[in-house]
Structure 1
């Protein structure tokens, strides 16, 4: 299934795509696409619905973040060897873990407004994992049983804040709009191998990143198992799994107002984000 949320920011409604690609409103069935809707039982109930009886979602409506109520937005750094190389950093021996403030989460086509004082805002197309069950002390062999599905993400980052301002990654990665998710939350039955997905990102029509997730150093089962050794992963938590080479940091071509960022990963969908002018500093 491809689940999504639509409507004005803060007032999104749950929906899914039917076999013809038509959005169907799920408001009469679930309150939202959140942790409660992601259990195996809840997903089985949704998959058994007669979608023809549900209202259509109007074409052209805003698509919001594909998951609501995210408690923990976890990032994995330097998880592609080619990206570590372009950053001039060694390949990590263990997953490099950081957090993004959940308040950075945005819709897949929402404008990216550069935050006041930002200097070097960069893009990072990534595969994101959405947890469907709580996970604690999980083995890699069983890790995917705890996953509800996957979505497309972009780990926007101000490199100056990340690297030169106190060296704190969370600060550089958590401004409003720095975590677009979606458009679709694609359930795991439609993604048989998360280590075989093609990620691509263009800026103003020029391909900057293009790589398969088989290039990840630590694959999804390893990441879920590793994180669950140290803290309890909750249903609805999101893990962004790292970006391949081609980020702006490598060429010093950072984002500016008017840039158009187009990210795609089939079957996860596409994001088209326009960079807006910097907010005035208060």
Structure 2
């Protein structure tokens, strides 16, 4: 794969539910105002995308009990927005973002009728690709993939990070081979309490996860449901390895920008 100077270094992952009765208003506010004013116009943030979980997709999530450490209950979080920030400019962007969200709320441009399920900043840890010359991760949010899959994994005590990375690379290669899953990028959470998250005017949802947490973001070229059996098998393989445990796996459709498609299907 050819190399270019633009490199992702970190991301914002924000999984949110609108309050019931406010679904359309939330979707339009986020898409038409906050997506841009709160994120895209900021320095060094170069890509973004929104994804939605219908009721049908929520019921595919696993685990669905207390071992799910990202969404409680398991079906919390209907819309996830994902943003890439350029390598070596994490602080440049999020210092701006922390102040920007405060100013937007002062101007009456917030949205109270929503609840965060899991909003966390993550550091880039690498990408596994299905194809040797596929879409690079830097273009993933703009590439019009049909589906997205989030998988959070906690490394077992006593297991070295490099050991788990090697295992996951092999497991992902087999999972993606011959499938519609084009890539899986890996991310490590930034702990809350910094300048950005401390200024947030709302609760940000479930904990970030510790140093053992890896968040994987996969993108599919076809309807995400067509790939789900592979993800179930992948999750079982991770759990059976003794090296780590899947604590969250969730599929999403890409939102249809400028429409209210899926809004009436999230519950």
TM-score scaled by length of structure 1: 0.27
- The one of the two structures with greater contact order (alpha-carbon pairs below 8 A, sep at least 6) is 2
